[in-house]
Amino acid sequence: MYIIVGLGNPTSQYARTRHNVGFDAVDVLAERYGISVDTKKYKALYGKGVIEGQKVILAKPQTYMNASGESVRELIDYFKIDETEELIVMYDDISLEPGQIRLRGKGSAGGHNGIKSIIAHLGGQEFKRVKIGVGEKPAGWDLADHVLGRFSKEDREAVDEALKRAKDAVVMMMTQGMDAAMNEYNRKV
C-alpha cells in the first residue's frame, strides 16, 4: 500500500495558491482514479482506492503546512507502511520554474517548512518526493506572500500541465520504481 500525500493549507482562502499545488496534485490523481478524498481522520482529508493495481491512500493534511508531519506520522502509524518505500509526498518548490517537476528519493527540506515538519516527525529524510515548480519569488517580495499568492494565467496553465505529469510520475514510481520514474521525469520539458 502507498500513502500519497499532497501538501497545502486547508480552507478555501488558500485554494489554487502556489503553496497548495500538492493538494492540487492529489485532486488530479483522485479525479483520474475515482477516489473520493473526503474522510476526515489522522489530521487529514483522505481517501482509499486503487491506482494501476496498487492500493493507495490519498491524503491532504489539514494541519496547515508547517505541521504537515503530524498528519503524515499518524497516517504511517495507522496504515503501517514503510515510509522509505511506500510514502510519496507532493509539494511546491520555488527553485523550479512553473511547469517543471523533479522527483527525489530522499534529501533535505531545502527550506520547505512542510517537508521540515515531515522530516522531524519521521526522524529521517528518506521518503519519495514529487516537487512541483512554482517559480522563484520576485525580488523584494516576502516569501510567504509569494507562496500564498496565485499564479498568472500563463503560469497556471504550465502548472496544470505539470500536475498531469506529476500524476503520471507517481504511477510510474509505484509500478516501475523510483529510478525509472526519475529517468523519465527529471528531464526539462
* Distances from the Cα of 52 to the Cα of 13, 29, 60, 146, angstroms: 33, 12, 21, 36
Q: Note whether 22 and 90 are within 8 A (CB).
A: yes
Q: Note whether 83 and 76 are within 8 A (CB).
A: yes
> In this structure, which long-range contacts are made by residues 79-82, counting pairs with CB atoms below 8 Å and at least 24 apart in sequence?
79/1, 79/3, 81/1, 81/2, 81/3
Distance between start and end Cα atoms, the chain: 31
Active site residues: 19
Torsion of CA 90, 94, 95, 96, to 10 degrees: 60
| Beta-bridge mates of residue 59 | 5, 46
Query: What's the alpha-carbon Rg for the chain, to the nearest Å?
Result: 15
